[in-house]
Chain A
Amino acid sequence: DVKVTQSSRYLVKRTGEKVFLECVQDMDHENMFWYRQDPGLGLRLIYFSYDVKMKEKGDIPEGYSVSREKKERFSLILESASTNQTSMYLCASSWSRGSGGGYTFGSGTRLTVV
């Protein structure tokens, strides 16, 4: 069974902390994505990557950065956590670059910044 694994289900961090969210996929997918999901706002794309060491900004990259040193791992970094970054964070991966392949999502990390 294909898997996208997010390292933490729940996290509580303090304002100003540097936060790392880790995502690992075991499907040899090229594409990986980070979303946040908030009530009434749906899924919003933060960053994505089509290859190792490659990254592109999504719709809401401010306050975030990413790292993809290995094909299977895509990390989201909150440089200085703020309360408005309290959210559900979802990682996804896909095998297709152009043929409309669906995404496989992880179970999500619910981050609370206090």
Chain B
Amino acid sequence: QKEVEQDPGPLSVPEGAIVSLNCTYSNSAFQYFMWYRQYSRKGPELLMYTYSSGNKEDGRFTAQVDKSSKYISLFIRDSQPSDSATYLCAMTPTGANSKLTFGKGITLSVRP
């Protein structure tokens, strides 16, 4: 079993739809959870950052972490064509020399 699993997609939705992106993981030591957004031919940029379990909201984006189920989600409300990108989940434990473990990413297309 891979440490981080992410549905490979691709995913296509109409403008205005609610989008749910998910990752599961196996390492119970993970404490920090992130979502990166990567536009075509660009580097990933940090979109959301959460620590431990719970929800975090930023505008149209909500990140949710359920450590008991080892499951994280990113919700996008009122999706826009400008949200079309690849989304990668990432996570890391605490402690020295910890590195991010990434999901493979899912490509989202929002149709006008």
Contacts and interface: CB of A to CB of B under 8 A. Distances in A.
Interface stretch (B43-51, B55-63, B66-74): B43-51
A110 B41 CA distance: 8
Interface in A19-47: 33, 40-43, 45
Interface of A: 4, 33, 40-43, 45, 48, 50, 90, 92, 97-100, 102-108, 110
A111 to B, nearest CB: 13
Interface residues of B, number: 28
Nearest to A109: B43
Interface in B54-112: 88, 90, 92-100, 102-105
B46 A108 contact: no
Given A48-B99, A97-B96, A43 B88 contact: yes
